[in-house]
Structure 1
C-alpha cells in the first residue's frame, strides 16, 4: 500500500497488546494516516515495546488487578484519547488504504457515535470467504461509549474486554470496508485462547441470569446466543449455520476445521455450565 506521512484521519488507534511483537511489526506501518497511535501493553517480554518505540508511537503500561475495568475501558477512563474517535485494533488486524478512504468519507459529517466493523478472517493460512462473518463495534466516539461494566474477580486470565460489548449513547453505523484479521500463531494458540474465552462466557452467562436489565443493551444476535448457549443443540446449530447455511464448505478444509472448532468452543461452554450447576455454583457471581 502507499505510505502517507501526513496524518489526515482524526482517530486515535488504540492497540492492546501482550507479547505481540511479530504482529505489531506488520500492523504499525499501516497506520500512518491516523492522527494518534497508542499501544497499551501488559508487561510484554518479547520486544513488543521495542517495536512500538521504533515506530515512535505512545506506549502505556497496564497491569490488571483482576477486576473492572479491563484494558480498553481503563484506557478510555484514565487516558483520554487526543482525537474525537478511537479505533480499537488488535495487533493481528491490518488496515489498508480502502478502509482508510471509507473511514475518511464516513467521518466528515458523521452523526453516529459508534460503528460496526467487518473483518476478513484468515484460518490455517487461508482467507475464509464464507461462514459466520466476524464483526465488532470497535470504532467509538470518545465520551459517547464505554464497554459494559461487568464486576468479576479473575474469571479467566483475560485482561482485555473480549465479549463485553460497548454501551453507546446515540446511533450506531456501519463501515463496509474490511479489516484483515490474520492470526498466524497456530492451532495451539487458537485452542488456548478459546478455552479462556469459554471459561469467561460460562461465568458471564450465570450473571446474565440474575440481571435482566443487561438484556436491554444487547443486540438481537447477542440475546439469541446467551438465551440458548446452554442448550445441547446450540453447538450443532452453529456448525450447520457456519458450514452449510453460510457456505463455509466453499472454504474447503479451512472452512470445515474453523466451523468445527467454533462448535467445539460452544460445546465447552455448555459443559462448563453443566459442571457449575452440578457443583451448586450456578447462581454465584
Structure 2
C-alpha cells in the first residue's frame, strides 16, 4: 500500500493492550504520532516498536489534548483514532482510493463511520454503535477540536464527504471498564459545567434516567441487541443521572472537587 502525506494521531494513557493494533491498521500514513500523558505500562515502548513517534504531554482534557497533538503533526492532513479503535481492511482500502482526491481538494474534513464491539461481539442494531458518523479525518488549517474536557467535537465550516466503510471500536471490553469511564467522563463534564456556571437543575433528575433509558433502549434500537442492548441503555441512563448528581455536589460542596480529583488520581482514573 502506498503512503500518503498524512499523520495518524493518537492520544494515550496506559494503552499497551490496544496501541499496536491501532497503529498497524493504518499502513498508509507517512507519520504515526502518539501523544502520551504519562503511561506507566508498556504503551510508549510498544508504540515506538510499531513505528510511532511519541511525544509526552501532561493531560489537558480531551479537546485540548487533541489540539496539542495537532500542533505536533508533521503533515496538514490528520487522521485521529483512539487507541482502542482500528481501521477495518475495507476502510483502509477505501481511504487508499479516495485520499488523493480528498487531499487535493478544499474539503476541511471527512466523516468516517464507527462500528462498536461490546462484550466481545459487534453490536448489530443499537444505532450509535452501528455506523455512527464521526469527523476524524481533517486538514489542520481548516478544522479544530473544541476545548471541551470530554465529548469534544471537530469544528469546521463547509461540506465534508462521508466514507462508506467503517472503523472498529473495542468499546468498554468489560463492565468495570465502563463504570470507570462513567466516573472519569462525569468528572470532566461537570468541571466544564462548573467553569460555565451552568445552573443546577436537580428537579430534572427523576426524569433523566427514564428518558435516557427510553431513548437508547427503544428509539435507538438497543432492545434488538438482547441483554447487551439492555446493559448499554442502562449504563447510558445511569451516566446521564450520575453527572447531574455529581454536579449538584460540586456546586454545593466545592471542596469535593479537589477531594475527588485526589482519589481519582490515586486510582489512575482521572484521565
Work out whether the TM-score is over 0.5. yes
Structural mapping, 1:199-210, within 5 Å: 199-208=187-196
Residue 22 (structure 2) aligned to one of 21, 27, 50: 27
Q: Are positions 1:97 and 2:89 aligned together?
A: yes
Partner of 2:152: 164
- Post-superposition CA distance 1:44-94 (Å, at most 9, x none): 221111211222221111123x589732111223x2x23231111111101
SS at match of 2:82: coil
Is the contact made by 1:25 and 1:51 (CA closer than 8 Å) also made in structure 2?
Answer: yes
In the alignment, the residues of structure 2 paired with residue 173 and residue 208 of structure 1 have an alpha-carbon distance, to the nearest angstrom, of 33
Q: Are positions 1:233 and 2:207 aligned together?
A: yes
In the alignment, the residues of structure 1 paired with residue 47 and residue 16 of structure 2 have an alpha-carbon distance, to the nearest angstrom, of 9
Q: 1:135 to 1:198 in 2, by over 3 A?
A: farther
Q: Are positions 1:190 and 2:191 aligned together?
A: no
In the alignment, the residues of structure 2 paired with residue 111 and residue 241 of structure 1 have an alpha-carbon distance, to the nearest angstrom, of 37
The Cα of 1:137 is off from its aligned counterpart by 2.2
Partner of 2:247: 273
Gaps of 5+ in 1: 151-160, 211-226
Partner of 1:143: 141
Partner of 2:70: 76
Is the contact made by 1:30 and 1:94 (CA closer than 8 Å) also made in structure 2?
Answer: yes
In the alignment, the residues of structure 2 paired with residue 117 and residue 235 of structure 1 have an alpha-carbon distance, to the nearest angstrom, of 30
Partner of 2:164: 176
Question: What TM-score, normalized to structure 2?
Answer: 0.79
SS at match of 1:21: coil
SS at match of 1:176: strand
The Cα of 1:252 is off from its aligned counterpart by 1.0
SS at match of 1:45: coil
Is the contact made by 1:232 and 1:270 (CA closer than 8 Å) also made in structure 2?
Answer: no
SS at match of 1:234: helix
Aligned CA-pair RMSD:
2.8
Q: Are positions 1:88 and 2:80 aligned together?
A: yes
In the alignment, the residues of structure 1 paired with residue 247 and residue 154 of structure 2 have an alpha-carbon distance, to the nearest angstrom, of 25
Residue 228 (structure 2) aligned to one of 254, 265, 269: 254
In the alignment, the residues of structure 2 paired with residue 119 and residue 208 of structure 1 have an alpha-carbon distance, to the nearest angstrom, of 31
Stretch deviating more after TM superposition (97-106 or 55-64): 97-106
In the alignment, the residues of structure 2 paired with residue 106 and residue 230 of structure 1 have an alpha-carbon distance, to the nearest angstrom, of 46
In the alignment, the residues of structure 2 paired with residue 129 and residue 119 of structure 1 have an alpha-carbon distance, to the nearest angstrom, of 12
The Cα of 1:143 is off from its aligned counterpart by 1.5
Is the contact made by 1:229 and 1:270 (CA closer than 8 Å) also made in structure 2?
Answer: no
Is the contact made by 1:111 and 1:171 (CA closer than 8 Å) also made in structure 2?
Answer: no
Question: What TM-score, normalized to structure 1?
Answer: 0.76
Stretch deviating more after TM superposition (45-54 or 67-76): 67-76
The Cα of 1:16 is off from its aligned counterpart by 0.9
Higher helix proportion (structure 1 or 2): 2
Is the contact made by 1:120 and 1:129 (CA closer than 8 Å) also made in structure 2?
Answer: no
Partner of 1:13: 8
The Cα of 1:197 is off from its aligned counterpart by 0.6
The Cα of 1:39 is off from its aligned counterpart by 1.4
Is the contact made by 2:26 and 2:92 (CA closer than 8 Å) also made in structure 1?
Answer: no
Is the contact made by 1:125 and 1:184 (CA closer than 8 Å) also made in structure 2?
Answer: no
Q: Are positions 1:243 and 2:243 aligned together?
A: no
In the alignment, the residues of structure 1 paired with residue 204 and residue 133 of structure 2 have an alpha-carbon distance, to the nearest angstrom, of 23
Gaps of 5+ in 2: 256-271
